[in-house]
Amino acid sequence: MDLAINMDSKQIYNYILKIQSIAKIGLVHSKDPYALTNYQQINDLSTQFLEDFLEVKFDRPNYFERDIYPTPNISVRAIILNENRNKVLMVREADTHTYSFPGGWADLYDSPADTARNESMQEAGADVDIVRLVGILNRIPFKSNVHIPEYVCVFEGKLNGKLQEHEYETDDVGWFDVNNLPDLSRKVSKEEIDRMLKAAINGDTIFD
């Protein structure tokens, strides 16, 4: 069967990535020498397939070279509402001039809430208290490009005082009516944004 005919690019990537994950799990847990040889061959072949498919060379430490149990990446987003809960704080990405909630990849050794707090300060100049977990969502169905599978932890933050100078990757910060959001970043789909925001406003907890 020709995978290129029957599967789109994202499906092909996910298929190869799943094979790679199985191989890495086998390399970590198997004790049988014959099985380990086979798992290593599968690992090497799938890496070559990924290099050819993405036209990149995995020549630096990353997911595909870690001899650990493979897991999705974790990102965080912070939803900061005003006192009336009818406006939400959003940041504009400097490269695309589109908006999203403050957030980014979870940092090593920081808790998820610490990361949400740090991202709020770095991207929005917002000193916030993280007041609750809004949800943990599976981003795989919504990602527009092929990447490692991702979960996002969504937190609600309460602003302390006024906004301060921000540091990273954003060139504008503003309050927007929850029913009239600006042009949204492609990094997070409108469906995801709407779902997160609705849960935050209503005090719901959501998960996949």
Return the pLDDT at 60: 41
pTM of the model: 0.71
Mean pLDDT, contiguous 10-residue spans, the chain (208 residues): 55 82 86 91 87 58 55 93 97 92 87 95 95 95 72 97 81 95 91 96 96
Residues 102 and 139 in one domain: yes
First to last CA, the chain: 33
Domain assignment of residue 182, given as a range = 73-207
Tell me if residue 42 falls in helix, strand or coil.
helix
Query: At which of 65, 94, 117 does a domain end?
Result: 65
51 and 105 both lie in a single domain: no
The pLDDT score that the predictor gives to residue 128 is 97
Question: Which residues fall within 8 angstroms of residue 102, CB to CB, at 6 or more apart?
Answer: 77, 78, 80, 89, 91, 116, 119, 120, 122, 123, 124, 126
Q: What is the pLDDT of residue 149?
A: 84
Both 95 and 198 in one domain: the answer is yes
149 in the same domain as 54: no
pLDDT score, position 205: 97
